[in-house]
């Protein structure tokens, strides 16, 4: 079984998000086309709610990149493993916490295995702006997803 070591992962982009507040409330820019590469520009967007203590993943995509936005109202622990054999950081693992107290946008390129877990006692929201349509145009294509959740021998384990 492959062993992953802690370290940065090439092509993973982490950007702090800023809440701009005024008397009406707040606004937060999730992405701007002038600060991310064209290969990561979104094709769709969705928001999910995850219950406390629940994880999504680990899984990976062959062609899809995810642009996750962790803004709250909870905190998530994001796990990333570089499974790309042609990457300069193949075999590296990154773990970071993001959410209400530290809002961040994270681009996960294809071939990087990823999972996140809600580590607080309240529901949390994650916004994803992937660069590919889920199941392709009109949902008529195979889903680009390799799941590792059910593999008892998977090296992709959450702490």
Q: What is the pLDDT of residues 36-72, one digit of tens each?
A: 999 999 999 999 999 999 999 999 999 999 999 999 9
124 with 72: CB under 8 angstroms? yes
Q: What is the pLDDT of residues 10-42, one digit of tens each?
A: 999 999 999 999 999 999 999 999 999 999 999
pLDDT band at 159 (very low <50, low <70, confident <90, very high): confident
pLDDT at 115: 98
What are the tokens at 148? 């590792």
| Domain residue ranges of the chain, discontinuous segments joined by + | 5-134
- Assign a CATH topology to domain 5-134: Jelly Rolls (2.60.120)
For the entire predicted model, the pTM comes to 0.94
pLDDT at 102: 97
End-to-end CA distance of the chain: give it in Å, rounded: 17
86/62 Cα distance (integer angstroms): 13
Written as one string, the DSSP assignment of 85-151 is TTSTTTTEEEEEEEESSS-EEEEE-TTEEEEEEE-SSS-EEEEE--SS-TTSGGG-S----EE-TT-
Under DSSP, the state recorded for 24 is: T
Contacts of 13 (CB under 8 A, 6+ apart): 36, 40, 105, 106, 107
Under DSSP, the state recorded for 40 is: G
Q: What is the pLDDT of residues 93-146, one digit of tens each?
A: 999 999 999 999 999 999 999 999 999 999 999 999 999 999 999 999 999 999
pLDDT band at 2 (very low <50, low <70, confident <90, very high): confident
């Amino acid at each position: 079984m492959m062993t992953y070591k802690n370290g940065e992962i090439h092509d993973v982009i982490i950007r702090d998000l800023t809440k701009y507040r005024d008397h009406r409330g707040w606004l937060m820019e999730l992405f701007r086309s002038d600060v991310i590469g064209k290969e990561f520009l979104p094709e769709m967007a969705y928001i999910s709610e995850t219950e406390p203590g629940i994880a999504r993943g680990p899984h990976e995509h062959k062609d899809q990149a995810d642009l996750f936005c962790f803004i709250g109202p909870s905190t998530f622990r994001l796990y990333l493993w570089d499974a790309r054999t042609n990457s300069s950081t193949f075999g590296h693992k990154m773990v970071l916490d993001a959410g209400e107290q530290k809002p961040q946008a994270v681009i996960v390129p294809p071939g990087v295995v990823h999972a996140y877990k809600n580590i607080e006692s309240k529901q949390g929201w994650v916004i994803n702006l992937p660069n590919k349509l889920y199941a392709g145009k009109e949902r008529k294509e195979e889903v680009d997803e390799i799941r590792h959740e059910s593999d008892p021998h998977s090296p992709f384990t959450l702490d």
